[in-house]
Amino acid sequence: MPQRTMHLSKLILNPRCREVQRDLSSPYELHRTLAHAYTTDSGQDYRAQHQVLFRIEPLSHATALPAVLVQSATAPNWNELPEAYLMHKPETKLLVPTFSVGQTLAFRLLANPTKKEKRPDRRQGRRIALPDYAEEDEITPARGWLVRKGEQNGFHVLYATTEAFWLGMDRGRATKNAIPIYGVRYDGLLQVTDPALLTSALQSGIGPSKAFGFGMLSLAKPQ
pLDDT digits (tens, 9 = 90+) for 74-122: 999 999 999 999 999 998 999 999 999 999 999 999 999 998 877 666 5
Instruction: Work out the angle at residue 103's Cα, subtended by the Cα atoms of residues 101 and 105, and round it to the nearest 5 degrees.
Output: 135
- pLDDT below 70 — which residues of the chain? 1-3, 60-63, 119-125, 135-137, 168-179
pTM of the model as a whole: 0.88
Domains 6-95 and 104-220 equal at CATH topology level: yes
Cα separation values, 24 from 33, 56, 88, 167, 170, Å: 11, 8, 18, 10, 12
pLDDT, position 132: 86
Instruction: Give the whole-angstrom CA distance, residue 153 versus residue 206.
Output: 8
Cα separation values, 122 from 113, 114, 118, 129, Å: 22, 18, 7, 20
Selected from 3.30.1330.10, 3.40.50.300, 3.30.70.1200, 3.40.120.10, the CATH number assigned to the domain covering 6-95 reads: 3.30.70.1200
Instruction: Give the whole-angstrom CA distance, residue 130 versus residue 183.
Output: 9
Selected from 3.40.50.1370, 3.40.640.10, 3.30.70.1210, 3.40.109.10, the CATH number assigned to the domain covering 104-220 reads: 3.30.70.1210
Q: Counting beta carbons within 10 angstroms of the beta carbon of residue 110, is it exposed (0 to 12), middle (13 to 18) or buried (19 or more)? A: buried
Determine phi and psi for 32, rounding to 5 degrees.
Answer: -70, -35
Reported in sequence order, the residue ranges of the chain that DSSP labels E, i.e. its strands, are: 6-12, 53-56, 67-72, 92-95, 104-111, 114-116, 127-129, 155-169, 179-192, 217-220
Q: Domain locations in the chain?
A: 6-95, 104-220
pLDDT, position 127: 79
pLDDT, position 187: 96
pLDDT, position 175: 47
pLDDT, position 21: 94
pLDDT, position 172: 47
pLDDT, position 1: 44
